[in-house]
Amino acid sequence: MDVSEKTKEMVRRLCREQGGVIRTAQAVRAGVHPRSLYGLRDSGFLERLERGLYRLADLPELGQLDLVTAALKVPAGVVCLLSALAFHELTTQIPHEVSIALPRHTERPRLRFPPIRVFWFAAKAMEAGVETHTLDGVPVRIFDAEKTLADCFKYRNKIGLDTAVEALRLYRERKRLSVDALMRYAAIDRVKNVMRPYLEAVL
């Protein structure tokens, strides 16, 4: 299907306003017919990331494709636990899914890509320690290093205590230690007594 230059430029502009990506619903609201998107995909103008999510094909290759796509598809979520550890370089593990925190009672997202693992957080824990990082032009919400460490001890039965302890050791070696922040988040997560002896061991 041939797509007019005017439509191409409209789609290009819409994509660039969104960091290089566009959802089908956004394009339709702007007056672009879904068939035009399919035509632009088939011609190589757009790259399909996931159902209903496209990216300009001439942009540099995505460096954080999984995190970016998860952020776009699950805007209420925050990257957490093992995925956040990997982002902060506090683990030797390679995540095979994106760990996403969502408010309690939120419906589980249904995604084919990327694979995700959902953890439901209380309201106070969802709001604490959230940073926004721009990855490949897209804002991605990720818990900061100290909040992530506290969360790892809270969810130690799900991710493994050894993962949490390793992360704390790497944090001591690689980051500027903030005991106050660690204890503040540990209090929010109700794991101060659990976390304190491990923290004392690395000091």
7-36: average pLDDT: 86
- Report how far apart the first and last C-alpha atoms of the chain are (Å, whole number): 64
Instruction: Enumerate residues 6+ apart whose C-beta is below 8 A from 188.
Output: 124, 125, 128, 150
Q: What confidence category does residue 188 fall into, taking pLDDT thresholds of 50, 70 and 90?
A: very high
Convert the pLDDT of each residue in 73-126 to its tens digit. 899 999 999 999 999 999 998 888 899 999 998 888 887 778 899 999 999 999
* Cα 87 from Cα 65, distance rounded (Å): 13
Considering only 46-50, 119-123, 128-132, 189-193, which range has the smallest mean pLDDT? 46-50
* pTM higher than 0.95: no
CATH of domain 65-202: 3.30.460
Provide the token pair at 45: 């103008």
Considering only 14-18, 104-108, 164-168, 169-173, which range has the smallest mean pLDDT? 14-18
In terms of C-beta density within 10 A (0-12 exposed, 13-18 middle, 19 or more buried), how is residue 176 classed? exposed
The residue ranges of every structural domain in the chain are: 5-56, 65-202
* Omega cis (within 30) before 115: no
Buried b / exposed e across 4-21, counting CB within 10 Å, b at 16+?
Answer: eeebbebbbebbeeebbb
**Cβ pair 22, 11 in contact under 8 A:** yes
- Bridge partners of residue 121, in order along the sequence: 103
Q: Is the pLDDT of residue 61 over 70?
A: no
What type of residue sits at position 62? L
Q: Is the pLDDT of residue 63 over 90?
A: no
More confident: 186 or 72:
186
* Cα 84 from Cα 144, distance rounded (Å): 8
